[in-house]
Amino acid sequence: MERSKSLDSVRGIAVLMVFFIHLSQKTLPIESPAFSIAKLGSMGVQLFFLISAVTILMSFNKHKAIDKKPIRSFFVRRSMRIIPIYWLGIVIYTLLFGVLASRGWGDGPEAWHYPWHFALMSMLHPETQSTVVPGGWSISVEIQFYLLCPLIFMTIKNLQTATYFLLVTTIFALVYRLVFSDILYANELMPLLGESPERNRYKFLYRSLPSQMPVFACGVCLYFIKDSHRLTGFVNSNTFSLWGVFFSLIFIYIIITINGGTLARALETYAHIYFAFTLAIPVAIALYRPSSIPTFHALQQTGRASYSFYLLHFLVLNSATEALADRLNNYQFFVTLITTLPITYFLSQLMAITIEAKINRMTKGMIKKLNNKPEHAPLSTH
């Protein structure tokens, strides 16, 4: 499938959003207005989920006409894309930090966490979310979504069923989070999540697939909207207005959450759903009117190497902030930014050119062999 420069650029924006929130966590006071705005960078993960759902459907429907067994080929492609690099991440972080030491982003792992991470199922337990590989929770949720994709491929065939899917998953996510709240059954249900700290358990609820599923469902809807060509004229003629709506929704979120109160708490609890619909706007523009998305080379390359960039930026930021701690005072954010961003970019490009490119070639070879392999061995004539 031919790569979309605009979608690569949006991926680049997504990983840079995540980079900036983690940079801010290391260098800015949590109480500062700047940090309140920087927190929006965490929605880069939801932007990844949106793009993932769109491109998975694009890729599957592109290849199903030529793949002998499309579902098998889908899992081969996605497994080879995710698993080897993630396992390499486990090795790198374990060698650099030790088996049980913190990676600089929370508690360190225990020995029993490793099987969960090797299986990319760390989001099946509150204590294992991102302990072995920082940020591993989002990769685990992505893998869980992949496991549901065959059902999605078989049951969601048009925009109408995609809309029902979005509606059902959104309602379920709202109720799922509500029943674990203090308003309803937190006291009864929270103990079922184990004895991990309460903060970890609330993170687990927010990050888990039932909570994040509307984000993927929004991406599924975007695919079928694009496939039906229903909004081509609307997006092309109203691009400027759509950007206005997008930035207005971000501004509204910032104003409400900074002022605090009940509405702010509710909006923060369901921020991922709010931003699933908000971030759908630039993704739709990237699909319908790619010329409206910045596509300069460095941003595209960041998007193409976004997986490596994501896994490496935790290491680079932690190393830099430890080296520069308490030496730069008010300039720590900017100095850390101008030093760590180029380093992370260079390392991710190096990994993409060497390791990722080799894996991609291996994957294409595997798919080709599988497609050329006879279904049954010929019967013996003896």
Residue 264 lies in a domain: yes
For the chain (382 residues), the mean pLDDT of every run of 10, in chain order, is 78 96 90 86 95 94 88 94 96 95 91 96 92 96 96 94 96 87 60 69 90 96 87 86 95 89 88 95 91 87 95 95 73 89 96 94 91 65 47
Angle at 13 between CA 168 and CA 239, to 5 degrees: 70
| Whole-angstrom distance, CA of residue 7 vs CA of residue 1 | 13
* φ, ψ dihedrals at 48, nearest 5°: -60, -45
CA 180 to chain centre: 24
- Predicted local distance difference test score (pLDDT) of residue 136: 95
Q: Where are the alpha helices (DSSP H) in the chain?
A: 5-27, 33-38, 44-63, 70-97, 113-118, 136-155, 159-179, 186-189, 198-207, 209-228, 232-237, 239-259, 262-269, 271-288, 297-304, 306-324, 332-351, 357-372
| Whole-angstrom distance, CA of residue 265 vs CA of residue 59 | 38
The predicted-structure confidence for 121-173, as pLDDT tens digits, reads as follows 999 998 999 999 999 999 999 999 999 999 999 999 999 999 999 999 999 99
Residue 43's nearest CA partner among 258, 239, 273, 235 is: 273
DSSP assignments along 252-292, one per residue: HHHHHHHH-SHHHHHHHHTHHHHHHHHHHHHHHHHHH-GGG
The predicted-structure confidence for 238-294, as pLDDT tens digits, reads as follows 899 999 999 999 999 999 988 888 888 889 889 999 999 999 999 999 988 888 888
Residue 211's nearest CA partner among 281, 255, 145 is: 145
- Predicted local distance difference test score (pLDDT) of residue 45: 96
| Whole-angstrom distance, CA of residue 208 vs CA of residue 169 | 13
Q: Quote the number of domains for the chain.
A: 1
- Predicted local distance difference test score (pLDDT) of residue 92: 96
Residue 381 lies in a domain: no
- Predicted local distance difference test score (pLDDT) of residue 1: 45
Residue 31 lies in a domain: yes
Domain hosting 116: range is 5-368
| Whole-angstrom distance, CA of residue 22 vs CA of residue 306 | 15
Residue 374 lies in a domain: no
Residue 163 lies in a domain: yes
Residue 382 lies in a domain: no
Residue 377 lies in a domain: no
CB atoms within 10 A of CB 29: 9
Residue 133 lies in a domain: yes
